[in-house]
Amino acid sequence: MDAQKPDKTRRSFFWKLGAGALAATAALARSESGDSENLSRQVAQLEEEKALRKLHRDFEQALDDGRYEEVVAMFADDAEVLFDGGVFASRTDGVNRLYRDRFRAGKSGKRMEPAPGFEVAADQQQDRVEVSADRLSATAVFPYSIQVGMPIESESSLVSMARLHGEGVRTWWEGGVYNVTYGRDAVDGRWKIRRLEYETLSRADYRPGRSYARPLSA
């Protein structure tokens, strides 16, 4: 009779073993799901960083080509630019005025090789892009080496004649970093520049091809 009694201890062992296996399987599934989600987020972040670097390359190329209308279109409506001690607010007002009027007249924004002896430090030549977890905003730092110019303020006949030939502009070399804040446009989902600061690290009286450069006061 005793041999025919159910082995409760054995059944309890197998039940616990089965429950433990199910729990382990569920935990593993959750872990794999979590790993998959993390991987998807990382891939998405990398894609956004890639898109922002391309946007910056497009920005620099448009500046270099003098396509200022395209430059202005890369900014958000409420964007602002900090340049040469001034704040240029609103895409249709300040930003538009800076690039389409001031930059165009001053021949500014074109890429230039660094002035000899005034190169930006190596640790400041590395670009950095950071995208928020929700991928709706981002910040970035990019180095720049450009020509900056300003029309010569004079009523002399020589300057007036130079203006007629598209000259009469004092130019210099400037190096530094762009500090950029981006936001995703609520309408078309594209990245737009929300804030751009030209952080000048050095400037010099220099022309391409010349073997020397002279310091230029701020």
Provide the pLDDT confidence category of residue 105 given band limits of 50, 70 and 90. confident
Mean pLDDT over residues 82-98, rounded? 96
Residue with tokens 């409420």: 78
Over the chain, what is the mean pLDDT?
84
CB 81 within 8 A of CB 137: no
Mean pLDDT over residues 199-210, rounded? 91
Write the pLDDT tens digit of every residue in 2-34.
555 556 555 555 455 555 566 666 565 566 666
**In CATH, what number does 7-215 get?**
3.10.450.50
Alpha helices of 83-186 — where are they, by DSSP H?
A: 96, 104-106, 157-164
Question: Can you give the three-state secondary structure of 13-70, one letter per residue?
Answer: HHHHHHHHHHHHHHHHHHHHHHHHHHHHHHHHHHHHHHHHHHHHHHHHHHHHHCCHHH
